Amino acid sequence: MRALHLIVEGSMLIRAGYELQFVTPSPLVMLLLLYTHPSRADSVEREQLSVSPDMPMDVFYDAYGNRCARIAAPAGTISIRNDCLVRDSGNPDPINPHASQCEVEDLPAGVLHYLLSSRYCEVDRLSDIAWQLFSQTPKGWARVQAICDWVYSNVQFGYQHARVTKTAFDVYNERAGVCRDFTHLAMTFCRAMNIPARYATGYLGDICVPPSPTPMDFSAWFEVFLEDRWYTFDARHNQPRIGRILMARGRDAVDAALTTSFGEATLTGFEVWTDEVPERTLISTGN
């Protein structure tokens, strides 16, 4: 019997993947959050994370629902690769200008920790500033958008401004950073205004937008809880985008770090791809 699967009209197919290379002077353990997020499982084909040289991988799910792998790597060169096809709706990030803000006493208990300070999001240090900037904006969607507008207009993007220790308070003072810095500052302002905000990272290709002259990279954005659900916002690009593929979520970049090394590891190779591919009008499986 032969099964026929017709491609859904209006959707798109995206090829996403990466190849990373590290040099390690001694054996170490690495945590990898390098899979597509389990929430996209039904739309992902042929995903297989591979490590060279071949070594066992302990695959598990962390406290935030991210799919992770733990490897014990020998000294030398380590290559990590993934390549998959992702079925995407082809729709931009949802917009709901009428989404209201929940009072803290009405928030689900499971989202309350996304109001608190975290490693890169010092709500206590930026709370007064946030209220000075945004207390006169309408609550809900309009307030989050005002925060994104401010960060987008007041922070300069540039890879030369990146450093692993940079916090939201640093970004506010220096007014420069990369996508994760835009995200941390916007999230901190949201939390200071009693809007739960969580960090997100993954693939974001130049789909239906002018291509960027810089090499493809992973991207960071954030999600806020309004009314009864999470919505995607992106202070770096400040516009709805198509083809966003989530890999990991957490309180900030600590929880969603795509690689964490317990020992010295130098990144010596880095390539990411996220491209729309031509539709296959019909897939045939079976006999």
Q: What is the pLDDT of residues 243-264, one digit of tens each?
A: 999 999 999 999 999 999 999 9
pLDDT score, position 281: 42
What pLDDT is attached to residue 186? 99
CB contact set of 116 (below 8 Å; sequence gap of 6+): 123, 191, 251
Q: Residue ranges per domain, the chain?
A: 2-90+258-286, 104-250
The CA distance from 228 to 2, in Å, is: 43
Contact 35, 247 (CB under 8 A): yes
Mean pLDDT estimate for the chain: 93
CATH class of 104-250: alpha beta
> How many other CB atoms are there within 10 angstroms of residue 240's CB atom?
14
pLDDT score, position 53: 97
Give the pLDDT band of residue 286 (cuts 50, 70, 90): very low
Query: How is 138-164 classified by DSSP, letter by letter?
Result: PSTHHHHHHHHHHHHHH-EE-GGG--T
| CATH for 2-90+258-286 (3.30.2320.50, 3.40.50.960, 3.10.150.10, 2.60.40.2250) | 2.60.40.2250
Distances (CA, A) of 276 to 34, 67, 263, 284: 20, 24, 37, 21
* Confidence label for 213 from pLDDT (cuts 50, 70 and 90): confident
pLDDT score for 175:
98
Please answer whether residues 121 and 193 qualify as being in contact, where contact means their C-beta atoms are separated by less than 8 angstroms: no
**Of the ranges 81-85, 105-109, 212-216, 224-228, which one carries the lowest mean pLDDT score?**
212-216
Region 208-212 average pLDDT: 90
pLDDT digits (tens, 9 = 90+) for 36-54: 999 999 999 989 899 999 9
- pLDDT (average), residues 160-189: 97
